[in-house]
Amino acid sequence: RARAARKLALIEQKMADLVVMQQLLGELVQQCDAGDGGTICPIIEALIRE
């Protein structure tokens, strides 16, 4: 039971991390869609910073 509870906690943390990643990526896609085409894509900029 303790092992299953630890695994569940790990899965819940991973899911929370994925939600954050989904939100950030969604924001970057919206920024690209709103861009004027003359600037560097926000997604590329974010990847370069990483």
Is 14 within the bounds of a domain? no
Q: How many domains does the chain have?
A: 1
- Per-residue pLDDT band at 37 (split at 50, 70, 90): low
3-state secondary structure (DSSP) of residue 39: coil
Instruction: Give the residue with greater pLDDT, 28 vs 18.
Output: 18
Mean pLDDT of 6-34: 92
Is 2 within the bounds of a domain? no
Mean pLDDT of 10-34: 92
- Per-residue pLDDT band at 38 (split at 50, 70, 90): low
So what's the pLDDT on residue 44?
81
- CA distance readout (Å), 3 to 7, 9, 10, 11, 31: 6, 10, 11, 12, 42
Q: What angle do CA 16, 26, 8 make, to 5 degrees?
A: 15
Is 35 within the bounds of a domain? yes
Is 20 within the bounds of a domain? no
- What's the domain range around 32? 25-50
Is 37 within the bounds of a domain? yes
Is 5 within the bounds of a domain? no
Is 46 within the bounds of a domain? yes
